[in-house]
């Protein structure tokens, strides 16, 4: 029997303080701190705006919601059941552009009377379809996007009613049509008017990168956007935001950043003044000729930072974004029929990308995963393979199922996972950049979302603060991960807060905490990103590049993160020497996501923690690489101002005696030794006698060893059976504690 959503609800008791993992676990994994009482605002926005993020690529007026469905009210079941929103429409505006008559008195422009008549008919049909009217508010913020035909000047319309084809004479004529289409097909008894217009869908791809019928230049595309914007604004009766250029693949680093110079930089220079927003599409390629190429993580961060940075420098403001398509392209599966695994290849990118967008809520107008309705228009006529990213499929498409009835694909799991999340964003902090974390508070509820960018399961140590006096009633954990070849959501219900959990490879987990009383949020964390006065500098060996980040406001306490966008060939150093106000800061060897070795070159943001006390009103950042090649694409300082002191949970190797805080010994490393099948503990070299003790969960010492040697040592622990243990290592100036789980 078909399950409307494929997820398992299991009540599994978890022992508080344990980490669930198979094999040997050392340390505490990634530490995640949540401060429920600290509101986190970015650009003045602290609420989770579901209408921006929990969306699909569709329209509530689409006929795809009609037909032989598993429920009589499919559109309502989806929108209300999953608290979801629309969307984007590229069909209607293009369809009627092909049908509207040419004005005989104005060659190359629309016959306005003919358009008005067609619009009146559409409004009348909408008025009669009263069953969908309750869902109109879910369409607010709708994006209209034009296709390249027939809107590109010189291309012909393709009327289906026997009329003579004709062509828009220029961009202004195209804009006039778009503005009048908004006027005549919306309001006055019709559907609500859209608020966002993308001038054209992926023009650079069709006219520059892979031209077919028409060849154009980036400059001509920028000028076309200006002309269309003028045409729309000359006639439209409602407030709409206009933008572009709707990039298919924003590969700024290609050809040593010539792609940036010749396309996006040029577009901002030529059309930036008339654009209300920047529009891009972002896709992972998890199966591309047997390789996996990902944008999620540091590559997306660098893409956004470079656009934000140059927008500020050239236009005085970081203009907002519309992400009208995102997700994953599954090239190696294009000619295969639907399967749960194909959906997983898409699903594992969606939350990862969305949580990057959520880091910039003040700059996101709309973000839409490319999940469409039934999309029979996308079925391959040669082999019958349906469109790959559908919300709906027929029952017979799944193994063991039959029937023509339309049911949900596994794409619904994204909406199931996130359906309850809402409220005020509060402070969250992971110790590992590969863990994306967000937290929200809504009355008595708190939600913690964790996404794993790694390709292996990871242990998470959860540390929650700010609600100690509030009684916790229960915690529900939803875990979207892959089991075999099928994505599932496991649901666990707990009576107490887990101290540790395990998250699957490329998986997403949402913990929903329920307290007895409303959670008090009476502290603040205000985040501001400051951009350097310089950007985009070539990397020359041993040459110090200096960047000035001025006008920084600081308070009594806070945190700071220097964001260094880098594009370099593989094999080049990604750890320059960096000073902030003449003080060297430590550059991490890790960043969000993978090493990008499958991409042509590395393009990503390295996030460098900066001691808050180093910041001044005007700051100097110096960056020096010891090898040649590539560019520093962007430099920015992320500054968090706290209303109270926030302490971050430290790793065991950071726990030191009160008067010896400058001494930091490496964490003990526990690992299986494949050469002899043993399990070993590595001890770093020390200059004093030390004592290693391992205790079972009931406090009994199961192994004790005194170490006198100054050499590194390895201790075998094969004698330990499965269970949970505590490791205690005493040295002259440090007591180091770790948890060990053997399963």
Residue whose token pair is 């005696």: 657
Report the candidate in 66, 99, 266 with the shortest Cα–Cα distance to residue 185: 99
Rounded to the nearest 10 degrees, the angle between the axes of helix 298-315 and helix 340-358 is: 40
**Tokens representing 265?**
């930089």
Measured CA to CA in angstroms, residue 322 lies from 268, 360, 418, 731 at distances of 15, 12, 21, 55
Dihedrals phi, psi of 554, to nearest 5 degrees: -125, 165
The residue among 63, 192, 80 whose CA lies nearest residue 133 is 192
Q: CB pairs under 8 A, 24+ apart, for 664-668?
A: 665/731, 665/734, 665/736, 667/26, 667/27, 667/736, 667/738, 668/26, 668/27, 668/727, 668/729, 668/736, 668/738
Active-site residue identified among 325, 416, 502, 545: 325
Q: How far apart are CA 267 and CA 399, in angstroms?
A: 48
**Residue that has been written with the tokens 């503005």 in this structure:** 179
Please say whether the beta carbons of 226 and 270 come within 8 A.
yes
Residue 308: active-site member:
no
Both tokens of residue 429?
Answer: 């902090």
Q: Is 202 one of the annotated active-site residues of the chain? A: yes
Q: Which of 102, 176, 202, 607 is catalytic?
A: 202
| Tokens 């960018």 belong to residue | 453
Give 404: exposed, middle or buried? Use CB within 10 Å, 0-12, 13-18, 19+. exposed
Q: In terms of Cα–Cα distance, which of 624, 621, 619 is closest to 635?
A: 621
What is the DSSP-derived secondary structure letter of residue 47?
B
Q: What are phi and psi of 386, to 5 degrees?
A: -75, 170
- Report d(CA 677, CA 668) in Å as an integer: 19
Tokens encoding 72: 């009589």
What stretches of 378-495 adopt beta strand conformation (E)? 392-394, 406-408, 424-430, 435-442, 445-452, 458-465, 472-483, 486-494
The verdict on whether omega for the bond into residue 528 sits within 30 degrees of 0, i.e. cis, is: no
As annotated, the active-site residues are 202, 325
């Amino acid at each position: 029997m078909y399950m409307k959503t494929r997820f398992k609800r299991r009540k599994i008791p978890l022992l508080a303080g344990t980490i669930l993992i198979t094999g040997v676990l050392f340390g505490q994994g990634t530490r995640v701190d949540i401060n429920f009482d600290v509101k986190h605002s970015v650009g003045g926005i602290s609420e989770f705006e579901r209408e921006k993020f929990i969306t699909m690529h569709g329209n509530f007026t689409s006929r795809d919601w009609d037909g032989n469905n598993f429920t009589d009210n499919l559109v309502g079941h989806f929108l209300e059941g999953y608290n979801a929103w629309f969307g984007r429409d590229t069909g209607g505006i293009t369809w009627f552009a092909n049908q509207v008559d040419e004005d005989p008195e104005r060659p190359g422009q629309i016959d306005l009377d003919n358009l008005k008549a067609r619009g009146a008919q559409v409004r009348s049909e909408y008025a009669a379809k009263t069953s969908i009217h309750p869902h109109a508010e879910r369409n607010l913020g709708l994006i209209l996007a034009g296709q390249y035909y027939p809107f590109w000047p010189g291309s012909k319309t393709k009327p289906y009613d026997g009329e003579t084809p004709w062509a828009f004479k220029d961009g202004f004529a195209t804009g006039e049509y778009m503005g009048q289409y908004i006027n005549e097909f919306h309001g006055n008894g019709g559907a609500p008017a859209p608020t966002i217009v993308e001038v054209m869908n992926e023009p650079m791809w069709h006219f520059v990168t892979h031209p077919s019928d028409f060849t154009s230049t980036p400059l001509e595309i920028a000028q076309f956007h200006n002309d269309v914007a003028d045409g729309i604004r000359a006639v439209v009766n409602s407030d709409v935001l206009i933008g572009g250029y709707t990039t298919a693949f924003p590969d700024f680093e290609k050809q040593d950043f010539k792609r940036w110079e010749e396309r996006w930089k040029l577009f901002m220079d030529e059309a930036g003044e008339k654009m209300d927003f920047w529009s891009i599409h972002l896709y992972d390629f998890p199966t591309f000729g047997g390789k996996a190429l990902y944008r999620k993580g540091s590559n997306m961060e660098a893409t956004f930072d470079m656009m934000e940075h140059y927008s500020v420098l050239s236009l005085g403001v970081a203009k907002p974004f519309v992400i009208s398509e995102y997700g994953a392209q599954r090239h190696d599966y294009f000619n295969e029929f639907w399967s749960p695994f194909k959906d997983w290849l898409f699903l594992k990118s969606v939350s990862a990308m969305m949580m990057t967008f959520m880091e910039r809520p003040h700059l996101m107008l709309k973000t839409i995963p490319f999940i469409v309705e039934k999309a029979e228009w996308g079925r391959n006529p040669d082999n019958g393979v349906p469109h790959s990213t559908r919300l709906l499929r027929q029952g017979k498409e799944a193994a063991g199922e039959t029937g023509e009835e339309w049911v949900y694909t596994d794409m619904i799991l994204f909406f199931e996972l996130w359906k309850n999340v809402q409220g005020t964003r509060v402070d969250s902090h992971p110790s590992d950049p590969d863990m994306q974390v967000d937290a929200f508070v809504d009355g008595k509820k708190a939600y913690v979302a964790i996404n794993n960018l790694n390709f292996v399961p990871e242990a998470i140590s959860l540390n929650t603060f700010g609600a100690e006096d509030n009684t916790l009633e229960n915690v529900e954990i939803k875990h979207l991960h892959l089991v075999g070849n099928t994505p599932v959501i496991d649901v666990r219900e707990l009576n107490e807060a887990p101290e540790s959990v395990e998250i699957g490879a490329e998986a997403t987990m949402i913990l929903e905490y329920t307290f007895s009383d409303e959670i008090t949020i009476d502290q603040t964390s205000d985040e501001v990103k400051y951009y350097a006065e310089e950007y985009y500098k070539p990397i020359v060996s041993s040459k110090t590049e200096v960047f000035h980040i001025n006008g920084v406001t600081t308070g009594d306490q806070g945190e700071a993160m220097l964001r260094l966008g880098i594009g370099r060939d593989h094999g080049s150093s990604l750890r320059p020497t960096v000073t902030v106000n003449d003080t060297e800061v430590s550059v991490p060897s890790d960043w969000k996501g993978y090493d990008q070795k499958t991409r042509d070159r590395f393009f990503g943001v390295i996030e460098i923690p900066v001691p808050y006390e180093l910041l001044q009103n005007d700051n100097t950042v110096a960056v020096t690489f010891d090898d040649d090649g590539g560019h520093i694409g962007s430099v920015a300082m992320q500054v968090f101002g706290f209303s109270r002191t926030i302490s971050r949970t430290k790793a065991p190797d950071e726990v030191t005696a009160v008067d010896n805080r400058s001494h930091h010994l490496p964490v003990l490393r526990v690992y299986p030794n494949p050469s002899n099948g043993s399990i070993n503990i590595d001890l770093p070299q020390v200059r004093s006698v030390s004592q290693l003790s391992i205790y079972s969960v009931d406090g009994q010492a199961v192994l004790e060893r005194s170490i006198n040697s100054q050499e590194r040592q390895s201790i075998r622990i094969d004698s330990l059976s499965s269970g949970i243990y505590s490791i205690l290592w005493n040295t002259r100036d440090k007591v180091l504690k770790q948890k060990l789980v053997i399963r």
